[in-house]
Amino acid sequence: MSGRFLMSERFELHDDDITNRLKWLMLMRMILVTFLLGVTLIAGFKSRSQEVVSSFTSLYLLIGYSYLFTGFSAVVFKYVKRKIGLSYFQILGDIVFITGVLQITGGIESPFVFLYFLSIISGSILYYKRGSLSAAALSALSYMVLFYFNTAGWSWFHAGGHSITEMTQLYYRGFLNLFSFFVIAFLSNELAKRLETAGEEIKEREDRIEDLQVLHENIIRSVTSGLITTDQNGMITSVNLSAEKILQMSMNEILHAGVVRIFPYPEVRGYLNRHVSDDDEGYSRFEITHISRHGDEKTLGMTLSRLRNTKGDYTGFLCAFQDLTRFKSMEEKMKKREQLAVIGELAAGIAHEIRNPLASMSGSIQVLRSELDLSKENRRLMDIILKETDRLNSLIGNFLMYARPRSLECRPVRIKELIDEAVTLLKNSGRIAASIRIETDIEEDTEIFADPVSIRQVFWNLAVNAVEAMPEGGILRVSVKAQDRKLSKEKGSTGFVRMTVSDTGGGIDPAARKKLFFPFYTTKERGSGLGLAIVHQIVQQHAGWIDVVNHPGSGVEFHLYLPEAAPSMVLNGV
């Protein structure tokens, strides 16, 4: 049931199909009738027989009928929307013409009975099974009418008396003709279906091949690797867009050039000249340093292989290459980082070893200073040694803090309590002058999820940095506010707290802005360059970030964003 339905649906004709076939049928009719007219005219000029001329007159009438019929069909063709009825009308018109031709040329004994076959074939081409059977039925009906009138009908059609033997032969011939009409209808219908099926399959395959070609071109065009194909002589036959970009050359410059001219390297020449056996994989992978015509140096990873056709014969070469310059640069940077990491670990170890004897030296000098009777000058020298020892110890401590950061012990912390303690320590440390005023604006119940020791270190480094930026006095402001939820969602967290530390100093030199958090970078004569680097490192460890707002000549603001303590953390005491 389903197969029959699919078959009928497949051979269901649309108006466009019928229109094209009707045009073809009318064109073929005009060619055939015109040829018949030409033959008739030539025969008429050569013959002087009155009987022949009379029969030619009847033939001229039929030819005129065919021209008029075709012209009428062409006019009506423009106005008829449903072309199926017009198809049957064309079949009927052709059968009337053929019947007339048979009557003029001998009736049922005419040698032109085969013209009915052409009409039946035309019907199958027009409308498959329906068309062929309709044409066969009309042909059979016309032939039987002609047979009747020729054997027993009107005197105009009557061909004369026939013997019983002749009548038997006529009936036999008539039966064969009628039978052949329906055989031709069946065969032409099957042939038309097979031709249509073959045409559709060819069209489907052409569409499939076209789709594959488009897909192939899109893939070749989209891959990031450069692709070049050549013939057996190494002449380039195709190139993709990535190859143009990598080589910095246009397609016209690359096509039909020798691949050795584009890549004049021993590896390429050696591969092209190498004999490859049938069992050899036939590819070669290597790296080259390519210099473009603009002088750009690139590291290319290249793979050369041989192309085969469907028979397995070599037809050319495939050259695939990638730009490895950025990866090589990253590899070099990684190696340098590994080397620096080893050096840093070694330096941290040395600094740790220096710290112990430095503490012993500081303790010994303090004992000598208190027990020995020193002159004023010697006592001043002892104080300088102790001060520099403390500075050196502080520098080593900062270096070890940056090189070997401690593990965080995060918990909910009230930020106000933490900063108030740090401000008190700062005021009593002797680092802050009387001309510097500290202002705080901190929400009472604001909590962050952080390591209190590390956050205290962050505030201390920023505050000391701000104080040193105001040698003539100024205002150190500290504010803490919970950030809006929109920013929290953008950063993928439950919430953030913004801590701002600002001063009214001279601001930051714009040239030094990009290097602000680099380790060992400082603009101070006696600075270590580690204070802000440690701040940046600790904030990153807390999954936060820092924004710096510079006001040249009037100060700088450091905005630190730290994760807010969620209510569940506070309740559970996480």
Name the helix (H) or strand (E) containing 338.
helix 325-371
Question: What is the per-residue pLDDT for 409?
Answer: 82
Residue with structure tokens 């106000």?
416
Residue with structure tokens 């050795």?
260
CA distance 150 to 156: 9
Tokens of 197: 């099926």
CA distance 350 to 260: 56
Residues 359 and 292 in one domain: no
Confidence category of residue 52, pLDDT binned at 50, 70, 90 = low
Looking at residue 59, its amino acid is: L
Considering the domain boundaries, does residue 423 fall inside one?
yes
Residues 450 and 515 in one domain: yes
Is the pLDDT assigned to residue 489 strictly greater than 60? no
Contact indicator for 178, 136 with CB cutoff of 8 Å: no
Residues 366 and 315 in one domain: no
Question: What is the per-residue pLDDT for 164?
Answer: 65
Considering the domain boundaries, does residue 216 fall inside one?
no
Residues 144 and 40 in one domain: yes
Looking at residue 285, its amino acid is: R
Considering the domain boundaries, does residue 357 fall inside one?
yes
Residue ending a domain, among 150, 171, 202, is 202
Confidence category of residue 8, pLDDT binned at 50, 70, 90 = very low
Q: What is the pLDDT of residues 230-259, one digit of tens each?
A: 988 889 988 888 888 888 888 888 888 888
Collapsed DSSP state (helix, strand, coil) of residue 183: helix
Phi-psi bin for 507: left (phi > 0), alpha (psi -120 to 50), beta?
left
Residues 430 and 534 in one domain: yes
Is the pLDDT assigned to residue 568 strictly greater than 50? no
Q: How many domains does the chain have?
A: 4
Tokens of 412: 């909910």
Contacts of 423 (CB under 8 A, 6+ apart): 438, 440, 463, 478
CA distance 124 to 25: 12
Residue with structure tokens 């039929």?
62
User: 267-283 burial, b if ≥16 CB within 10 A, otherwise e?
Assistant: ebeebbeeeeeeeeebe
Residue ending a domain, among 167, 202, 237, is 202
Instruction: Please tell me the number of Cα atoms within 13 Å of 173 on its side-chain side.
Output: 15
Phi-psi bin for 160: left (phi > 0), alpha (psi -120 to 50), beta?
left
Q: Based on the number of CB atoms within 10 Å of its own CB, is 468 exposed (0-12), middle (13-18) or buried (19 or more)?
A: middle
CA quadruple 534, 537, 540, 545: dihedral, nearest 10: 50
CA distance 70 to 76: 10
Is the pLDDT assigned to residue 175 strictly greater than 60? yes
Considering the domain boundaries, does residue 328 fall inside one?
no
Considering the domain boundaries, does residue 219 fall inside one?
no
CA distance 418 to 140: 112
Question: What is the per-residue pLDDT for 570?
Answer: 39
Phi-psi bin for 253: left (phi > 0), alpha (psi -120 to 50), beta?
alpha
Q: What is the pLDDT of residues 385-421, one digit of tens each?
A: 777 777 676 666 666 666 666 677 888 888 888 888 8
Q: What is the pLDDT of residues 375-388, one digit of tens each?
A: 778 778 777 777 77
Contact indicator for 316, 237 with CB cutoff of 8 Å: yes
Residues 412 and 377 in one domain: no
Domain that includes residue 317, residue range: 225-323
Angle, alpha carbons 348-354-355 (nearest 5°):
90
Confidence category of residue 471, pLDDT binned at 50, 70, 90 = confident
Residues 371 and 419 in one domain: no
Collapsed DSSP state (helix, strand, coil) of residue 556: strand
Is the pLDDT assigned to residue 159 strictly greater than 50? no
Q: What is the pLDDT of residues 74-107, one digit of tens each?
A: 777 777 776 677 777 777 878 888 788 777 777 7
Among the ranges given (267-276, 287-296, 490-499), the one the predictor scored with the smallest mean pLDDT: 490-499
Q: What are phi and psi of 299, to 5 degrees?
A: -95, 120
The neighbouring-strand residues paired with 287 are 301
Residue with structure tokens 């009107």?
154
Tokens of 383: 């104080």
CA distance 442 to 420: 10
348: CATH: 1.10.287
Q: What is the pLDDT of residues 104-115, one digit of tens each?
A: 777 777 777 887
Contact indicator for 213, 234 with CB cutoff of 8 Å: no
Q: What percent of the chain shows pLDDT beyond 90?
A: 1
Residue with structure tokens 């649906």?
9
Tokens of 115: 């013209």
Confidence category of residue 155, pLDDT binned at 50, 70, 90 = very low
Residues 424 and 457 in one domain: yes
Question: What is the per-residue pLDDT for 41?
Answer: 65
DSSP string covering 213-278, please?
HHHHHHHHHH-SSEEEEE-TTSBEEEE-HHHHHHHT--HHHHTTSBHHHHS--HHHHHHHH----T
Name the helix (H) or strand (E) containing 16.
helix 15-46
Residues 102 and 235 in one domain: no
Confidence category of residue 10, pLDDT binned at 50, 70, 90 = very low
Is the pLDDT assigned to residue 331 strictly greater than 70? yes
Question: What is the per-residue pLDDT for 364?
Answer: 75
Of 27-36, 198-207, 332-341, give the range with the top mean pLDDT: 198-207
Among the ranges given (265-269, 458-462, 488-492), the one the predictor scored with the smallest mean pLDDT: 488-492
Contacts of 119 (CB under 8 A, 6+ apart): 91, 94, 95, 98, 135, 139
Question: What is the per-residue pLDDT for 40?
Answer: 65
Q: What are phi and psi of 279, to 5 degrees?
A: -90, 0
259: CATH: 3.30.450.20
Considering the domain boundaries, does residue 8 fall inside one?
yes
Is the pLDDT assigned to residue 37 strictly greater than 80? no
- Round the average pLDDT of the chain to a whole number and report it: 76
Q: Based on the number of CB atoms within 10 Å of its own CB, is 562 exposed (0-12), middle (13-18) or buried (19 or more)?
A: buried
Residues 154 and 16 in one domain: yes
Considering the domain boundaries, does residue 108 fall inside one?
yes
**Residues making up the chain, counted from first to last:** 574
Q: Does pTM top 0.85 for this prediction? A: no
Residues 565 and 505 in one domain: yes
Considering the domain boundaries, does residue 473 fall inside one?
yes
Tokens of 39: 């033959």
Residue ending a domain, among 274, 289, 323, is 323
Tokens of 171: 């009936």
The neighbouring-strand residues paired with 416 are none
Among the ranges given (3-17, 477-491, 524-538), the one the predictor scored with the smallest mean pLDDT: 3-17
Residues 309 and 370 in one domain: no
Rg (CA), the chain: 51
